[in-house]
Amino acid sequence: MNPSRYFALIPAAGIGARLGADVPKQYMPLAGQPMLAHVLTTFAAASVISHVFVVVSADDGYIGELMAAAPHLQGRVSVLFDGGPSRRESVLNGLQAIRPLVGDDDWMLVHDAARPGLTAGLIEHLIETLQDDPVGGLLALPVVDTLKRSDRNARVEQTVERTALWAAQTPQMFRYSLLLRALTLAEAVTDEAGAVELLGLQPRLVEGSPRNFKVTLPHDVALAEMFLKEKS
Ligand code: CTP
Ligand code: MG
């Protein structure tokens, strides 16, 4: 039997409404390159990853230029114009599109285009921890702040016990057939782990890094650039 392979699947079909830039946020320049180029370069350079798939929207007008300007991605990255109206649907469409190319037991590492701070070390750490896991799992960070639940008037209703709480990141790593089944059945989930949990399984939490945060709001841009400049 062939050993399982590792594939990256990058959903990049959003519009970045909360960031509100002139271009969809995955194409926003950060430290001299589009946000998505940082992510694709990190995965393409990781020898453990067999191939990288990026899911963009059917009318994406930016990916062609990005790929043309990045010869190091040729042959390592395939573009799928299969984005859907939600992140879940973009990932699901991507999984269906690559069906002939991957095995049921191959691992899929699903990673947000909006987390450009991912490093080779974090990919290795995730894979080393999960390669023999029966379920799979995700990078996540233990919550350090004291948490408050508010009422409608922004008054504290309750302090929430933070022990055992983690903030989910990506990559989220599950075997192809399990992930396809989970995302097909789940409708209102915001990450892959959420879909797998609905099958009654318990994904493993693997400690990530603050630098792998999701660029979401305008004030995140300066912090992302700081981390990206530190890397090079
Ligand atoms: N994504 C996607 N397809 C969608 C929506 C989101 O592939 N229909 C991707 C985004 O491109 C991003 C990742 O999912 O890489 C995480 O989503 P998020 O940070 O919410 O990005 P956006 O949806 O683009 O941002 P916003 O919610 O502010 O509009
Ligand atoms: Mg979104």
Average pLDDT over residues 175-194: 97
81: CA distance to ligand 2 center in Å?
18
pLDDT on residue 116 = 98
Tokens coding 119? 């490093």
Give the CATH architecture of domain 6-231: Alpha-Beta Complex (3.90)
Q: What pLDDT is stored for residue 231 in this prediction?
A: 62
- Coil/strand/helix, residue 207: strand
Average pLDDT over residues 93-112: 98
pTM confidence score? 0.97
CA of residue 24 to ligand 2 center, whole Å? 11
Looking at ligand 1, which atom is closest to the CA of residue 15? Answer: 24
Write the Ramachandran bin of 151: left for phi over 0, alpha for psi from -120 to 50, otherwise beta: beta
Beta bridge partners of 98: none
Read off the pLDDT of residues 16-68 as tens digits, 9 standing for 90 and up: 999 999 999 999 999 999 999 999 999 999 999 999 999 999 999 999 999 99
The domain locations on the chain are 6-231
pLDDT exceeds cutoff 70 at 227 = yes
Span 168-180, average pLDDT: 98
3-state DSSP assignment of residue 216:
coil
Candidate of 19, 111, 112 to mutate for ligand 1, largest count of ligand atoms within 8 Å of Cβ: 112
Q: How far is the CA of 49 from the centre of ligand 2 (A)?
A: 26
Angle at CA of residue 71, ends 65 and 75, nearest 5°: 105
Residue to mutate (ligand 1; options 10, 19, 23, 25; most atoms within 8 A of CB): 25
Helical ranges in 102-144 per DSSP H: 120-130
> Residue 106 has what pLDDT?
98
User: Is the pLDDT assigned to residue 232 strictly greater than 90?
Assistant: no
Q: How far is the CA of 120 from the centre of ligand 2 (A)?
A: 25
Q: What is the pLDDT of residue 147?
A: 95
- Ligand 1 pocket (Cβ < 6 Å) reads 11-19, 25-26, 55, 83-87, 90, 112-114, 214, 216
**pLDDT exceeding 90 applies to what percent of the chain?**
96
